[in-house]
Structure 1
Amino acid sequence: MEGLSSLVQLANQQQAWVAINGGYFNRVRRLPLGALKDNGRWLSGPILNRGVAAWGERSLPQFGRLQLREWIVSPSGQRLPIVVVNSGYVQRGISRYTADWGSSYKALSGSETGLLIQAGSVRQRLGPAELDAGVLLRGDDLLLVARGGAELPWGPGEQLQLESRPSNDLGLAPHVIGGGPLLLLDGRIVLNGAAENFSSSFLSQGAPRTVLASDDQQVWLITMEGTQDSGPSLGETAALLQQLGLRHALNLDGGSSTGLVLGGSLHVKGRGVAGSVHNGVGLVP
């Protein structure tokens, strides 16, 4: 999951005729910050109950807010919650990483400890030095990483089981992309920054916008820019989309990330430059 690319390159790799940039990411670490699910596999788990769009093959996306609730369970019934999956969002507690993250995992914070689990059995306990150096991930390996003083009380040979369930059916779809805030649902403006842990300043500022939307008949890939100003606020964006007759809409990463590719060329450049992005959404014939 580590790395950035141009939107044109991402679109061309997938033979997408039309494409917009996707979800949030850490530009310094080049890691995803939100939901990315492809063909049933969580490349990056949802965070902060933020808005997502989810779809199956040849179907319009469905929209809502999503959390992924996971636990690691021992035979004695001890259950510890997992806070994030394959994510650059670093939080106190236990995080889970798989080979979908990449060929290896390297520590994202100080004093991490870990457990490498293979075929449901703890194979190795890992200290900070080993995680700093990097841990190889292959096949169905599962790496548990404890941060901020969280404990992993199990040792080699112990059997552990993963329990995972999404907060709603959006998390069951084979494909999911996260962003936020959610703007429209069933034709109503549902903008609620507090519910998705966005700051009030983020909600009020004007900026170029990228939106994935639906009118219940077609999917819409939308970018917006200001002509004489910095761009619309999220409230103005939601109102405009509603006036256009859209029923559901999700804000994606904006600002300098905003981009629109048509036929292999970049036609919209957020703040006038073609910024590198982590992922995108495209229409592939």
Structure 2
Amino acid sequence: MNEVIINVRDPHIEVQPAIANHELGTTATLAQIAQQNHAIAAINGTFFDAGGDNFPAGALEINGQFVYNEKGTLLGIGAQGQLTMLRATEELSLNVYDPTNPISNMWPWFLNTLSTNPMRVSVLTPFYGPRTRDSSSVVAEVENNKIVAIHDGITPIPSNGYDIEIGAGEAKTPIMQRVHVGDRAVWGDTVVSLDTGKTVPFSAYPNAIGAGPMLLNNGRIDIEPAKEGLDNYEVVDAVTLRSVVGFNSSGQLVFLTIHDANVYQEAQIAKALGLTYAMNLDGGSSTGLWYEGRYLTVPQRALATAIVVEER
């Protein structure tokens, strides 16, 4: 077992999720991700499609903007080191304001998600990559919250904006009649508690990462993997390498790797170490912990994401 404790209230410390090579769908070693972000400590991040498209399977928020949406347990990190943890999902919104039409809602499906579904509407930010990937789609290019161009097929994603990708089937519906160059376009995410179904104010937490299941909730073991969509053997019951992130009653953030445990044993260990909130991260071959230039736990594969600790 290896543990790193971080004083997140230190004004010279910043903690946030990191994406390998700053681009979804790519991987790097944990040490490389740490070095890319000038980190003094790092632990592997959320689940991802290892050996497939390498896209994440957990929520990510970086510098106040969600990068990926997925239900699970969400760790929120505030600018002054405040921490929160809850079971949550995110609801994506996108509005295009056509002055000739009272309807603005675009009913988006995906945020930075690979898809060729012809009826989708997706929001693609620079973390998705330099360009869109579906040659059959229609794309509205947005800069500074204004549509600046509309293209057919593969389109660059502006560094100071995003693309609205509309599947070939959806592009044949009346939705395209209210998308024009010059229209204002705004997207956002709302965090919703899986326990209460209510919207959770989250603006105080500009950085967040989701995984799960939750292990500890206010000091008690509280494991409900089915609620988080994580009720499979590999995540819950397999006795394997485990990674944990959590915090104690003093507000210190804790990174923890465990040699062999299922999530129930993992929760007991986290509680014994004095954590009050804790969640399971991606484990098994992904389990890795890096501190001050060296590995404490060496991952057995390259990773898509990590949680990094940086000195300001």
TM-score (norm 1): 0.81
Is residue 51 of structure 1 aligned with residue 73 of structure 2?
Answer: yes
Mean Cα deviation higher: 9-18 or 243-252: 9-18
Aligned counterpart, 1:266: 295
1:8 alignment partner AA? A
Q: Partner of 2:156 in structure 1?
A: 136
Q: Which residue of 2 aligns with 1:223?
A: 257
The alpha-carbon deviation at position 140 of structure 1 amounts to 3.2
Structure 2 distance, partners of 1:72, 1:282, is 33
SS in 1 for 2:224: coil
The answer for the alignment partner of 2:11 in structure 1 is: none
Note if 1:14 corresponds to 2:37: yes
CA contact (8 A) 2:79 2:205 kept: no
| Aligned residue pairs, count | 267
1:62 shift after superposition: 1.3
CA distance in 2, matches of 1:140, 1:162: 13
Q: Which moved more, 1:256-265 or 1:233-242?
A: 233-242
**Structure 2: runs of 5 or more not aligned:** 1-22, 192-199
Contact 2:27 2:302 in 1 (8 A): yes
CA deviation after TM superposition for structure 1 residue 177, in Å: 1.5
Aligned residue identity for 1:38:
I
Unmatched segments (≥5 aa) in structure 1: 227-231
- 1-side partners of 2:243 and 2:296: how far apart? 13
**What SS does the corresponding residue of 1:17 show, helix, strand or coil?**
strand
2 CA distance for matches of 1:39 and 1:59?
14
2:195 is aligned with 1:184: no
What TM-score results when the alignment is normalised by the length of structure 2? 0.75
Alignment match, 2:18? none
The yes-or-no answer on 1:5 pairing with 2:28 is: yes
Runs of 4+ in 1 over 6 A off after TM superposition: 89-92
What SS does structure 1 have at the residue aligned with 2:285? helix
Offset of residue 175 of structure 1 = 1.1
8 Å Cα contact 2:139-2:166 kept in structure 1: yes
Q: Counterpart of 2:202?
A: 170
Q: Using the alignment, how far apart are the partners of 1:74 and 1:211 within structure 2? A: 43
- What is aligned with 1:24? 47
Question: Which region of structure 1 is more displaced relative to structure 2, 68-77 or 145-154?
Answer: 145-154
Structure 2 letter corresponding to 1:224: I
| 2:146 equivalent in structure 1 | 120
Residues 255 and 90 of structure 1: CA distance in aligned 2, closer, same or farther (over 3 Å): farther
Shift of 1:192: 1.7
Residue 212 of structure 1 corresponds to 245
1:91-130 to 2 correspondence within 5 Å? 93-107=120-134, 112-118=137-143, 119-121=145-147, 123-126=149-152, 130=153
